[in-house]
Amino acid sequence: MKVGVIGGGAAGLAAAFEVVRQGHQAIVYERAPFLGGQASTFEVGGARLERGYHHLFTSDVDMVWLVHELGLGHKLAWIPSKVGLYHRGRIWNFTTPTDLLRFGSLGLTDRLRLGLATLAIQRQKDWRRYEGITAAERLPKMVGRRGYEVVWEPLLRGKFGQHYQDVGMVWFWGKIALRFASRGRGMAREKLGYPMSSFGEVFDTLGQRVQQMGGKVHTSAVVRRVLVQDGKAVGVTAELPGQGLTEETFDAVIATVPSYVFPRLLPELPQEYLLKLTGVTYLAAVLVVMALSQPLSGIYWLNIADRSIPFVAVIEHTNFIPPEHYGGQHLVYLSNYLGKENPMYHMGHQELLDAYLPHLRSINPQFDKSWILQSYYHREEAAQPVIGTGYSARIPAHRTPVKGLYLANTTQIYPEDRGTNYSVRLGRKVARLLLQDYGHPVVGELPVPAIRNSITSLGEW
């Protein structure tokens, strides 16, 4: 078969890789001048750094498989995590159960209740029990009003803004289940994985492997239309560098674009399917990355449980990967998830940085603007879908109403949340589904997922 793949992020490249591994041809179209999507990189201090922070959990079996399959396993390091929570003007360690017991912003009873509720959520194997209720409804009953107001409500507000009360409890369950799965037995201290040559190298290598196995990968290639004849996808129209508008015929097409983009590629879609595509709200990931002359804190992942601070997390990458890897610079992400209704969504790089700077002294009173050697700005429009209640009945099917046209995007990763690991799994899964639909046998099995009872990541909040 000859399969067109729209999108050169994790899902698209994984789908193309699966197609060529099974003995068929795949052609990838990526509109950006680089591969990897949210896992793509830029250069800082002589090394590559992800535009959006990335790490792996030990339970991310699909990404671990891919890294080893590409011959990069020797570059994958597993490093103890340093997680913290900012509340009431100070940073609290939040890495071990003992840290929770020391969390002075809650009384002892509330701390114990918070921990026991987390264990209860982790031990709940049937996520369907949570499908009809929001996290904002369920969590106060489980952790108590005080525990909810101190920890989970500000984190939900920071992550989802005005949509925080719409987030389904299943989304929250997926976060907790994944985090505990990564700890293993005995609640051992969590280790996080990182390919020391960057995630960008992983996906660049994946693109190269697709081409070595007979496929093609186009960057700076904008797909304008999926060609449909007699209700069947037969090709795409795309603008390619140096070639202008071209047409390519395919036996089938996989689109890995966001749901709101997908209808733009087709003449029309049935209303029922279209409503499933347009019924999901996406938030943009807006990131300011600072290269500092000295460390901001001693924490890798700092969740901000204080809504007077206008960002939701501070990820100090060089408390995970040493600053020597980046020419001695200390690299800090200031993370936000914003809808278009938020004024900060419309701010440019310098305006946003200026809005953030006064609040960095809350993290470290010694911080001074002179520490900033350089700063960078990145935005990913379709970073976080807002998944509400009863979502299993509203997931758009991978098999679209157009024969031979398949959809694979982050709104279909359920009950898990979006993430590089699940995008790789999703891409491979849809490629295998396509091949089987056309009567082609597939060889080998997918890795066993960390959450087994899924239809199809708390390291990041």
CA 439, chain centre distance (Å): 33
Residue 288 falls inside a structural domain: yes
Res 369: pLDDT:
97
Residue 451 falls inside a structural domain: no
395/252 same-domain check: yes
For 119-160, the DSSP string reads: HHHHH---GGGGTTSBHHHHHHHHH-HHHIIIIIHHHHHHHH
Res 459: pLDDT:
36
Res 47: pLDDT:
97
30/108 same-domain check: no
Res 267: pLDDT:
85
Best CA proximity match to 225, nearest among 252, 247, 250, 254: 247
Number of structural domains (the chain) is 3
135/74 same-domain check: no
255/233 same-domain check: yes
Q: Which residues, given as ranges, of the chain have pLDDT below 50? A: 186, 452-461
For 195-246, the DSSP string reads: ETT-HHHHHHHHHHHHHHTT-EEESS-EEEEEEEETTEEEEEEEEETTTEEE
CA 112, chain centre distance (Å): 31
134/275 same-domain check: no
What angle do helix axes 108-123 and 169-181 make, rounded to 10 degrees?
90
374/286 same-domain check: yes
257/379 same-domain check: no
Q: Which domain holds residue 157?
A: 95-191
274/285 same-domain check: no
181/204 same-domain check: no
Q: What CATH code is carried by the domain that includes residue 327?
A: 3.90.660.20
Domain finish residue from 346, 362, 386: 386
Res 122: pLDDT:
84
174/224 same-domain check: no
201/185 same-domain check: no
Q: Which residues does residue 216 pair with via DSSP β-bridges, in sequence order?
A: 27
